[in-house]
Structure 1
Amino acid sequence: MSRTSNQANGDLLREFLSIADLLEEPRLAQLYAYLARDGEATTQELIEALDLPQGTAYSYVDRLVDAGVIQVVSETPPRRYAAREIELTVTTADGEREYTITPALIDAVGRRETDADIDTYIDRHGIAGLATALTYTVERERGEMSHRLMARDLDISPLAAEIILQALRPIVHEHFDIETTGGSLADIEGVDTDFDDA
């Protein structure tokens, strides 16, 4: 595991465990991603934007502040919170691949409860697979990659590649400065959008 900035080992371990929580709990990831995308917010604004129960929202905010992944930016009531930048590079258990955990990846995880395609992809390929698909989506949106090349590289069906590329497309455009070049499923004749058939 490597990190882009230097931290004491205890701080790094705490941050890693906090990020692991974000990757395991989609609603927690949604809250972090909202702050990373939209900037500062009060707990009440988070409740309204994310449709969270009040107790859950306060609990999540406290957990993320304690974990150090969000910070209080205004102490005067009502308190305002902002996301801290996360960029942590990890190596898979088999040592074969590295991937970077970023706000965009956490945002994608946060959408698994509302996007069946992302949820299915994570179930089949894990967080490391989702991180890889996110990288391919950035390349696709820059015009450097096609769904067929991604499918070949990852040994998945072209349909599965296209579906996850489309699911991740809005996330890429919210987190990266990219001009749109990718196609859509509607542009591909005869493509069935039911992911389970892939």
Structure 2
Amino acid sequence: MSRTSNQAGGDVVRDFLLVADLLEEPQLAQLYAYLAHEGEATVQNMMDDLELAQGTAYSYVNRLVDAGVIEVTHDEQPQRYAACEIDLTVTTAAGDREYTITPALIDAVGRRETDADIDTYIDRHGVAGLATALTYAVARERGEVTHRLMAEDLDISPLAAEIILQALRSVVHEHYDIEASGASLDELDIDDGDAVDDT
């Protein structure tokens, strides 16, 4: 399901509507992110790992299969399920902003249930705001931006920027190839002014 919104036809609208539930319901997003991370799993695996009741797990799985965002990979009992790739780019009506719906964004939305900082950020800035913050979080982990630059660009406080960047850090490292950058404290040549010259 890799599409961009500037393509003609109803497929893009259909694809967007298929993932809309994932962005609106953190529990569905969490289940999708779990399958994207695990590769494939049975309903029992989902129940155990996500602490879902049996009825809830089957209901979520059926909804996601019907939406076309997960699929059956092994038809024999117990059935196994896997996440379908999602990479959908949506452009605003004014054409001034573009948002990409990826497994990383869906994972971040799914963490809303367990991470108060992500929940608060979505309440204040919406899922589109979270998508933008995720872009900055990736850039920050690559050493390309700081929380102050993000705060200035988005007209939010530096503290709010730092909080959401920290909350999204684990999402970034699970979904993106980020090389370790920067020197450790041991590698830095720091003159702390307290050193005594023994000469």
Q: Report the TM-score range of the alignment, normalised by the length of the smaller protein.
A: 0.7 to 0.9
Identity %: 78
Q: Normalized against structure 1, the TM-score is what?
A: 0.85
Aligned equivalents of 2:51 and 2:150: distance in 1? 35
Q: Normalized against structure 2, the TM-score is what?
A: 0.85
Aligned equivalents of 2:7 and 2:150: distance in 1? 35
Which residue is equivalent to 1:101? 101
| Kept in 2: contact 1:14–1:67 (CA 8 A) | no
Aligned equivalents of 1:50 and 1:86: distance in 2? 21
| Kept in 1: contact 2:5–2:12 (CA 8 A) | no
Aligned equivalents of 1:154 and 1:6: distance in 2? 25
Runs of at least 5 residues in structure 1 that lack an aligned partner in the other structure: 183-198
Which residue is equivalent to 1:110? 110
| Kept in 1: contact 2:47–2:57 (CA 8 A) | yes
Which residue is equivalent to 1:162? 162
**Which residue identity is paired with 1:39?**
G
SS of the residue corresponding to residue 89 of structure 2 reads strand
Residues 116 and 180 (structure 1), Cα distance of their counterparts in 2 relative to 1, 3 Å cut? farther
Which residue is equivalent to 2:26? 26
Residues 45 and 5 (structure 1), Cα distance of their counterparts in 2 relative to 1, 3 Å cut? farther
- 1:113 shift after superposition: 1.0
Q: Deviations over 1:55-86 (max 9, x none)?
A: 01001101111111001000011000000000
Superposed CA RMSD: 2.1
Runs of at least 5 residues in structure 2 that lack an aligned partner in the other structure: 183-199
Counterparts of residues 176-187 of structure 1 (less than 5 Å): 176-181=176-181
| Kept in 2: contact 1:92–1:128 (CA 8 A) | no
Which residue is equivalent to 1:66? 66
**Which residue identity is paired with 2:140?**
R
